[in-house]
Structure 1
Amino acid sequence: MQGYKVKEFGQPVKRYVQILSLMDEPELIRQYRYAHSKEGFWPEIKEGIRTVGILEMELYIYGNTEVMIVETPLDFDWNTAMGKLAGLPRQQEWEDFVGRFQVCPEGSTSDEKWHKMDRMFYLYED
Structure 2
Amino acid sequence: MSHQFKRYCKTLTLKDDPELIEKYKAAHARENFWPEITRGMKEVGILDMELYLLGNRLFMIMDTVPDFDHEKGMEALAQKPRQGEWESFVSQFQQAGKDNSAGDKWRLMERIYEMEQQQEYAPEEGQLKECP
| Same fold, TM-score > 0.5, yes or no | yes
Percent identity over the alignment?
Answer: 45
1:11 partnered with 2:3: yes
**In terms of mean alpha carbon deviation, does 108-117 or 28-37 score higher?**
108-117
SS in 1 for 2:97: coil
Matched letter for residue 30 of structure 2: K
Contact between 1:95 and 1:107, CA under 8 Å: does it hold in 2? no
Shift of 1:125: 5.2
**In terms of mean alpha carbon deviation, does 56-65 or 103-112 score higher?**
103-112
- Greater strand share, structure number: 2
Could you say if the C-alpha distance between residues 125 and 98 of structure 1 is closer, same or farther in structure 2, counting changes exceeding 3 Å? closer
Over the aligned positions, Cα root-mean-square deviation in angstroms equals 1.5
SS in 2 for 1:12: strand
Could you say if the C-alpha distance between residues 106 and 125 of structure 1 is closer, same or farther in structure 2, counting changes exceeding 3 Å? closer
Aligned to 1:5: none
TM-score (norm 2): 0.85
Q: 1:110 aligns with which of 102, 120, 127?
A: 102
Aligned to 1:21: 13
Taking CA–CA contacts closer than 8 Å with sequence separation of 6 or more, which of the two structures ends up with the larger relative contact order? 2
The superposition leaves residues 26-61 of structure 1 with CA deviations (integer Å, 9 ceiling, x where unpaired) of 110000001111011111101111110100000000
1:90 partnered with 2:43: no
Aligned to 2:67: 75
Matched letter for residue 85 of structure 1: L
Distance 1:69 1:125 in 2: 18
Shift of 1:72: 1.0
SS in 2 for 1:100: helix
Shift of 1:124: 2.0
Can you give the 5+ residue segments of structure 1 that lack an aligned partner in the other structure? 1-8
**Runs ≥4 in structure 1, deviation > 4 angstroms?**
none
Distance 2:80 2:42 in 1: 12
The superposition leaves residues 61-113 of structure 1 with CA deviations (integer Å, 9 ceiling, x where unpaired) of 00000001001122111111111011111101100100000010112221111
Aligned to 2:47: 55
Distance 1:40 1:18 in 2: 23
Matched letter for residue 108 of structure 1: N
